[in-house]
Structure 1
Amino acid sequence: MAHNLPFDAQFLAAEFRRLGFDVPVGAEHGLCTMRLAGHFLPHASRSLHGCREAAGLPPHRAHSALHDARAAADLLACFLRTAGAPPPWDRIVDQAARAMWPALPTALAVPVSRRRPEAREPHFLTRLVDRLPRLRDPQADAYLGMLDRALLDRHISESEADGLVETATMLGLARVDVEVVHRRYLAGLAAIALEDGVLTTDERSDLAGVAHLVGLPEHAVDEALAEARDVAPPRARWHLRTGDQVVFTGKMDPPREDWEAEARDAGFDVGGNVTKKTRLLVAADPDSMSGEAKKARQYGIPIVHPRAYRQMLANPVAV
């Protein structure tokens, strides 16, 4: 289990390969709290800090392996309470428990001391990254989670660049896909920088630095700023609107008919199948590979657990 599991898993697997072992470590063998947040906290950003804040959890000491692990575990506990028993990811956990591991020899290792994470001075990009919205695309979010970390110090090292390339390749992102993701990333930064109506010299400089680091031309900053000025400021929370189409799929308790009736009473349009007009898919198993879930992912439609959907009913936006 990890927050942005594809990112962490590839490094663990690479270290085991250096020792000559192939181990069952990967996105398909565990739980990713960043991905689950898309189902249980659809209004949250992709960062661990943003997800914890949306779940009502206190801030944690970020960018420390131990504190991040504990913070992700707290977040998973919230999802467990929301999902009920058994959780929809029981199958994944069961498969992981049965995975075959090679016999690993024990060895002594000298611990390496690091600076306390709380001593790190936050900067402009750190503040922005924690507030970036999700892209509602698991592949893009996993890649951007790694990009978030790489850009914290405004520098992409050779190893970080290699990791980004490896992550994109692993996720099936072609070069043109990555360029689109980078432009969306820059647009998100520009929109947040302009939220107060003022673009400082430092903010402009940082945007230009990010564009350079991710291989975008200089004019990409002007395009991102122009786009940010042309659109309404991003909402802090993702909402359902009265009249939005909601589709339910999977075996639910109470029965699906009860959920659909409740949705109609709340002013939503209940659809029988996922189409491009669908606003939200409520799935008993958000990671289901059913036809409806596949179409929702293809169209970029959020997929949430029924319990998370019920929480969203308290905050619909009237049209």
Structure 2
Amino acid sequence: MTHPTTQSLARGFAVVDFETTGLVPERGDRAIEIGVTLLDPDGNIEHEDETLIHVSRDLGAQHVHHIRAAELKHAPEFDGIARQLRDYLAGRVFVAHNVAFDSRVLRSEYARLGYDIPVQGKTASANRRGAEASTTLCTMRLGGKLLGVRSLASCCARFGIGNPDAHSALSDAHATALLLREYMRMIPDWPGWAAHLDAAEQARWPRISENMARWMPRPSHASDGSNIMDSDIPLASRVTSETAPAPPPRLREGDRIVLTGAMSQRRADWIDDLAAVGVTVWPSVTKKVRLVVAADVDTESTKARKARAYNIPIVSERWLKTAVENGVDAA
């Protein structure tokens, strides 16, 4: 299917889901994956797309979104997808399950590039039209009103909608699009459908000047079956046995180590466990730190990037568990 362009903007709905590093974009959390499902005004799916998004920071709760840092090495930055995404969204109602969150993420990412986008709540014409005129629509709120449930899984279950890859952006967006279509069938005469479509169609989007980059889905989603993680293309900062400093054979009393990322064991518990064997968890990376322990050894967190600059080994949480179990050498 051809991509829409600024010359052929379509009236309809754009269902979007983001995977992010955290829940507060206003405090620096970033989008790391987006899924987009486009529907016509009657709820028929017209096009779908997805991409990972490269960010130079820790990726947050990886046990939820299952995105590894190494998978983002060749993904576009947000500025590389901003123009294509604008062409997908312009003229369409922005739909998400918890649209308050996803719209904040979207506005934050565009604001980083200096753009103010018209993805917003009620417009000035709302009262005159007798219906909520908005460029956004929330399937979670509709679920609460129409079904008495709010979670995506619970709403989808009412209609037998599957979501086999939950917490993958496109899978969640696709499920949300099917959910929206069911709501449209439940209340076909609701004036809000037309009010939202009119508001979105009239909204003025800025012209995006950034260059376009190729969208890159998760390796497991690649349509040709390829997996960039298994390719011969070198990753710019991938930690490999040839380029990374080797970890020490054992921990020793007095070592300073730094923790980075969301680990499976609580950080406070790690601090206590390591203190019990004479190892100190240090708050920042200095040249006196012996190693950095990361939830993801390919992370581009500030601590990990500084460790690489100082040639300090970066090891996994599993390595640390084994090292503690094997005992700590005396200083």
State the TM-score bracket (shorter-chain normalisation).
0.3 to 0.5
Q: Which has the higher helix share?
A: 1
Greater Rg over alpha carbons, structure: 2
